[in-house]
Amino acid sequence: MAVNLTAYPHLLGSPTNTQVVKTGLDNDDLVSWNGVSRLILFSAIATGGSMGGIFVISAVTVIEPLQVRGNIYLVNLALANLLVTALVMPASCVAILASIPNDPGICNFQWQTTVLCFLVTIHSFMFMAVESFLGLGNTVNYELCCTKNRIVFVLTLIWTTSIGFVVAQEITGFGPSFCDPSAPVWMPYHAITGSLLVVLPVLIAVWYFTRSIFKLKNFKLQVEILEDPTAYVLTDEYLLKSNIVVFTLMLVMWMPCVIVATISTVRPVAQHLLDSSWWAALSNSCIYSYLYAATNRDFREAFNKLFYYCCCKSHVSFSRRQRPDSRRVEGDSIGLRVHIIPGLNIYAQRKETSKDNSRNYQSKCGKGISDL
């Protein structure tokens, strides 16, 4: 991918030969300026994407309505996309700074990391859809199916399977690979692995997300006749809709890359198609987190408060949105616990100091009154 990312002329619109003559710039100057432009672009995108992923993890950690067992799959999704924004794109910046934009080692590292991110993302959405569907049933059945140990086992299985596939790809050298179009192709292997690791998880996710939507609608129609409606809903309706939107965007941005990679195993594909499809897939890792903020109020408030805290270093808190589900408790409020280390919380120190001064003042006043 060194060719696809670090030397991506279509993205920045490199001048043609006639433009070189008109501007009076030589090729070395153009290459230098294009390298600087790509470096700034990749650095900005990687920074914004990584910040969004960290904000998603932080929101699930500190926002009370999001602190539910099933959202661990959402954290797993954020960790997978951080592989792209924190490793793949910075690797392109390293290649530009080292003046080795076509280095095969960097390209291979970026490709394998991208495949790992894609597999973990697909499987995270699959189990996220199943968990959402089970959360729309009886809470007893949900507790039996989605225990903490089973969720930890599922996460371990996801990463083990994905890493094992990537390692097997590296050892065997089987394609598809955007770095080496001449990689050997064994069609039965690609058909089996593609069906089990990509097609089947996508179909399962689509099936259970669709069933969750219809089941939620039926529940709304029956909510008035149920004795205890909160005993049948653990899935957050708003978060379910956000997950579906993000999943749809992921399919739209990743499918061109998957299709092009599949075609490349049969016949050669133009380089600009490889570049464009790969770039679209990587862009999903940078914008998915902000799509959560745009479609979900809890994430939007968390993003705003976390960004405010990062810029102003000030303690923030806000009221919790009331919801008609089992997690709503009257009088609760969302507290954004941003001060992880109490010793560094100057606001808490000031508050404690003011309390101590007030107590000392009151004790002195009480002593003076008793003397009188």
* Short-list 104, 40, 125, 90, CA closest to 282: 90
Confidence of residue 106 (pLDDT cuts 50, 70, 90): confident
Question: Phi and psi at residue 328, in whole multiples of 5°?
Answer: -80, 130
Where residue 269 falls among pLDDT bands split at 50, 70, 90? confident
pLDDT tens per residue across span 135-184: 887 777 777 788 888 999 999 999 999 999 999 888 887 777 777 767 77
Alpha-carbon distance of 306 to 80, in angstroms, equals 21
Residue 236's pLDDT band (boundaries 50, 70, 90)? confident
Determine the pLDDT at residue 22: 42
The band of 294, judged by pLDDT with boundaries at 50, 70 and 90, is very high
Q: Is pLDDT of 104 > 70? A: yes
User: Is the confidence at residue 87, as pLDDT, over 70?
Assistant: yes
Output the pLDDT for position 332: 39
In this model, does residue 295 exceed pLDDT 90? yes
**Which residues, 6+ apart, have CB-to-CB distance to 213 below 8 Å?**
240, 244
Nearest to 94 by CA among 103, 348, 22: 103
At 318, give phi and psi (nearest 5°): -150, 165
DSSP secondary structure code for residue 236 in this structure: -
Q: Locate 53 and state its tokens.
A: 């992923």
Which tops the pLDDT comparison, 250 or 274? 250
pLDDT at 229 over 80: no
Is the torsion defined by CA of 95, 107, 289, 34 positive or negative? positive
Phi and psi at residue 174, to the nearest 5°: -70, 145
Query: Domains plus CATH for the chain?
Result: 2-338 (1.20.1070.10)
Say how many residues make up the chain.
372
Distance CA 289, CA 299 (A): 9
pLDDT tens digits along 191-210: 888 899 999 999 999 999 99
**Among candidate residues 11, 131, 149, the one with its CA nearest the CA of residue 74:** 131
Cβ neighbours for 187, distance < 8 A, ≥ 6 positions apart? 265
Please state, as a whole number, how many other Cβ atoms lie within 10 Å of the Cβ of residue 5: 25
Longest dimension (CA), the chain: 101
- Per-residue pLDDT, averaged over 231-256, amounts to 86
Return d(Cα 148, Cα 188) in angstroms, integer.
37
Phi and psi at residue 79, to the nearest 5°? -65, -40
pLDDT level of residue 227 (50, 70, 90 thresholds): low
Overall average pLDDT of the 40-46 stretch = 85
Residue 8: its pLDDT value, please?
45
Tokens matching residue 108: 């291979």
Tell me the two tokens of residue 157: 């299985």
Q: What is the dihedral of CA 121, 126, 132, 138, to 10 degrees?
A: -150
The chain-wide mean pLDDT, for the chain, equals 75
- CA gyration radius for the chain? 26
> How far apart, in whole angstroms, are the C-alpha atoms of residue 60 and residue 242?
14
Q: What is the pLDDT of residue 315?
A: 54
10 Å CB burial of residue 357 (0-12, 13-18, 19+) is exposed
Separation between Cα atoms, residue 261 and residue 194, nearest integer Å: 11
Cβ atoms of 165 and 193 closer than 8 Å: yes
Q: Which residues pair with 334 in a beta bridge?
A: 318
CA distance 151 to 26: 59
Task: Say if CB 251 and CB 209 are below 8 A apart.
Answer: no
Q: State yes or no: pLDDT of 337 exceeds 50.
A: no
The pLDDT score that the predictor gives to residue 349 is 38
Q: Give the tens place of pLDDT for each residue, 6-34.
A: 444 344 333 334 333 444 445 555 456 66
In this predicted model, what pLDDT tens digit does every residue of 312-333 receive, in sequence order? Answer: 655 555 444 444 444 443 333 3
Query: How far is residue 197's CA from residue 358's CA, in Å, rounded to a whole number?
Result: 64
Give exposure, 316-345, as e/b (b: 16+ Cβ within 10 Å).
Answer: eeeebeeeebbbeeeeeebebebeeeeeee
- pLDDT confidence of 224, banded at 50, 70, 90? low
Q: In the predicted model, what is the mean pLDDT of residues 241-250?
A: 94
Highest averaged pLDDT of the listed ranges 101-115, 278-292, 310-324? 278-292
Q: Which of 41-45, 164-168, 302-306, 323-327 has the lowest average pLDDT?
A: 323-327
Tell me, what's the pLDDT at 19?
39
